[in-house]
Amino acid sequence: MAQGLLPRLLAALAVLVVGAAAAKSHGRPSSVGATVVTLTDLNFDEMMGNGRPWMINVFSHYCQLTYELEAAFEKLAKPLANLASPVSVGRIDGSSERGLMSRFQLRGYHAVFHINGTETRQYCDGHNCEGQRLAQRQLLKFAREGWKAVEPRTGCSSPVSKCGRAVGQITKLPAQMKSSYAYLHNERQYSDLTLFAGILAVPVAIGLSLICMLDAYYSRRLPAQPHLHIQ
């Protein structure tokens, strides 16, 4: 029974690995144009590497201020895309993208940021993100040149710094697992039992690998037994 179980576990592990890779490519965002791009825990790092600066709106559906922020950024996308040095425009739903909220170190949901390479600058947050602060003229001014007058965040407080990206690799794990499960279960039609077996196969495979390594190591260290010659 044990001999038949191991191949099944290894096959299920292969299903998980291939499915996770397929889910990642399946959810890859399209190219950025004159639209507001929805940023998530899964696509954030990839989108930040498109070679453009970004203006990003962090919002929540729980507040009336969301509609004002969303309307302002919808109007902002086309003018910024038509600049000599285009600026991409993104949106983050803070109520669902918990990993990004941790990377931006935000407690409240409403904020506007400018990201350029590895530098992050905050334009406004909370109730400062309303009224004239959201006027298109003010936002365009900040996106073009105004950001240069603001001190950038440093260290882990910047989501695009080395530290911020390292934190992101950890905080997006739940989203990666959820995405992989949804792809394998809903699109590839794998049963929950198969997926559970794949998860179980991980520690089994690691344990077997360690046993083989230890066996090979100690086998080499055993001294050769002398041959006894019987007279």
Q: What is the pTM of this model?
A: 0.68
Does residue 226 form part of some domain? no
Do both 57 and 137 map to the same domain?
Answer: yes
Q: What is the pLDDT of residue 23?
A: 47
In tens, the pLDDT along 69-101 reads 888 999 999 999 999 999 999 999 988 899 999
List residues bridging with 113 in a β-sheet: 56, 122
Does residue 174 form part of some domain? no
Helix, strand, coil in percent for the chain, rounding step 5: 55, 10, 30
Do both 150 and 109 map to the same domain?
Answer: yes
Q: What is the pLDDT of residue 209?
A: 77
Q: What is the pLDDT of residue 130?
A: 84
* Cα(7)–Cα(5) distance, integer angstroms: 6
Sign of CA dihedral 71, 28, 46, 109: positive
Do both 10 and 67 map to the same domain?
Answer: no
Please enumerate in sequence order all residues whose Cβ is within 8 A of that of 140, keeping only pairs 6 or more positions apart, or say none. Answer: 76, 79, 80
Give the chain's residues under pLDDT 70: 1-33, 175-176, 178-179, 181-185, 188-190, 192-202, 220-231
Q: What is the pLDDT of residue 207?
A: 78
Residue 34 in contact with residue 78, Cβ under 8 Å? yes
Does residue 231 form part of some domain? no
Residue 215 in contact with residue 207, Cβ under 8 Å? no
Please enumerate in sequence order all residues whose Cβ is within 8 A of that of 181, keeping only pairs 6 or more positions apart, or say none. Answer: 195
Do both 88 and 110 map to the same domain?
Answer: yes
CA dihedral 150, 138, 53, 32 (to 10 degrees): 160
The count of structural domains within the chain is 2
Do both 14 and 87 map to the same domain?
Answer: no
What residues make up the domain containing 209? 2-23+190-220
The CATH number covering residue 48 comes to 3.40.30.10
Does residue 146 form part of some domain? yes
List residues bridging with 92 in a β-sheet: 58
Does residue 212 form part of some domain? yes
Do both 98 and 42 map to the same domain?
Answer: yes
Q: What is the pLDDT of residue 67?
A: 83
Q: What is the pLDDT of residue 212?
A: 80
Burial 76-92 (b: 16+ CB within 10 A, else e): bbebbbeeeebbbbbbb
